[in-house]
């Protein structure tokens, strides 16, 4: 019961999912629209709440046990609570019951997204440029032909996208474009095909009930 019921539901829903593409009947289409746009959307919203619960519990326990750097957990919990309250009661653009504007100063969730999340996210991802460059400097060595090819294509693509590359050799952007559209496309396409066929095989194993690791441990 504890494993068979979820497995039976998975197989049943899997059949609905697969057949949705092959049955152009209005009834079947309405059923699939209901499953996709209502049932599964609501269930996925609850999954987010579960993830959030785990995050809150993890940081709450960090604060209670006074683990290393527990002060940061206060920042996370307070910012999460404040943003959620502003978003839930203030609406996404300040149309809710909670006022999200003091004079000219607006602090609705869309503003928080633009003014807090975007600067933080963009800077965090830009940090990777420094670490990738530093890692490349330490590890890129043209020890053999293949390593040289990797190094050369990386340099050509990087130089081909900046004015310096064009100043060094006017044809460099065209070479960079050729690398991206011919050898890179060939390698990516081969890898994509391999990954997709592998993923599809795994999905079919899940649907057939052969792959059951998603059920987790226990009976």
Q: Which residues contact 172 (CB under 8 A, 6 or more apart)?
A: 156, 159, 160, 165, 166
Size of the site for other proteins (CB under 8 A): 129
String of contacts with other proteins for each residue 58-97, x by CB under 8 A:
-----------x-xxx-xxxxxxxxxx-xxx--xx-----
Does 126 bind other proteins (CB under 8 A)? Our answer is yes
Taking 3-state DSSP, the helix, strand and coil percentages for the chain, each rounded to the nearest 5, stand at 75, 0, 20
- Nearest Cα neighbor of 95 from 76, 82, 109, 83 is 109
Residue 216 touching other proteins (CB under 8 A): yes
Rg (CA), the chain: 26
179 binds other proteins (CB under 8 A): yes
- Quote the least distance from Cβ 53 to other proteins, whole Å: 7
Residue pair 176/157 in contact by the 8 Å Cβ criterion: yes
Q: Is the CB of 36 or the CB of 64 nearer to other proteins?
A: 36
∠ CA(132), CA(135), CA(140), 5° rounding?
Answer: 110
In the complex, least distance from residue 3 CB atom to other proteins, rounded to whole angstroms = 7
Least Å distance between CB 101 and other proteins? 9
151 membership: H or E segment, kind and range: helix 145-160
* Residues 22-41: x where in contact with other proteins by CB under 8 A, - otherwise, as a string: x-------x---xxxxxxxx
Q: Which of 15, 98, 142, 167 binds other proteins (CB under 8 A)?
A: 15
Binding mask of the shown chain, residues 134 to 173, with x at each position contacting other proteins by CB under 8 A? --x---------xx-xxxxxxxxxx--xx-----------
Q: Residue 143 Cβ, how far from other proteins at the closest point, in Å?
A: 12
Contact assessment for residue 134 and residue 150, using Cβ atoms and an 8 Å cutoff: no
């Amino acid at each position: 019961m504890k494993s068979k019921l979820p497995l039976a539901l998975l197989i049943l829903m899997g059949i609905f999912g697969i057949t949705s593409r092959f049955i152009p009947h209005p009834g079947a289409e309405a059923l699939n629209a209901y499953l996709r746009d209502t049932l599964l959307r609501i269930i996925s919203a609850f999954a987010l709440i579960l993830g959030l619960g785990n995050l809150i519990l993890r940081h709450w326990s960090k604060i209670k046990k006074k683990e290393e750097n527990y002060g940061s957990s206060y920042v996370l919990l307070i910012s999460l609570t404040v943003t959620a309250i502003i978003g839930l009661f203030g609406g996404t653009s300040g149309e809710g019951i909670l006022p999200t504007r003091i004079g000219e100063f607006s602090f609705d969730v869309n503003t928080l997204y633009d003014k807090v999340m975007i600067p933080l996210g963009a800077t965090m991802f830009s940090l990777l440029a420094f670490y990738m460059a530093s890692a490349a400097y330490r590890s890129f060595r043209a020890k053999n032909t293949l390593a040289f090819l990797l190094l050369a294509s990386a340099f050509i693509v990087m130089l081909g996208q900046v004015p310096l590359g064009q100043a060094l050799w006017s044809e460099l952007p065209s070479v960079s474009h050729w690398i991206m559209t011919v050898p890179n496309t060939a390698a990516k396409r081969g890898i994509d095909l391999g990954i997709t066929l592998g993923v599809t095989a795994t999905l079919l194993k899940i649907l057939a009930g052969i792959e059951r690791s998603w059920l987790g441990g226990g009976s």
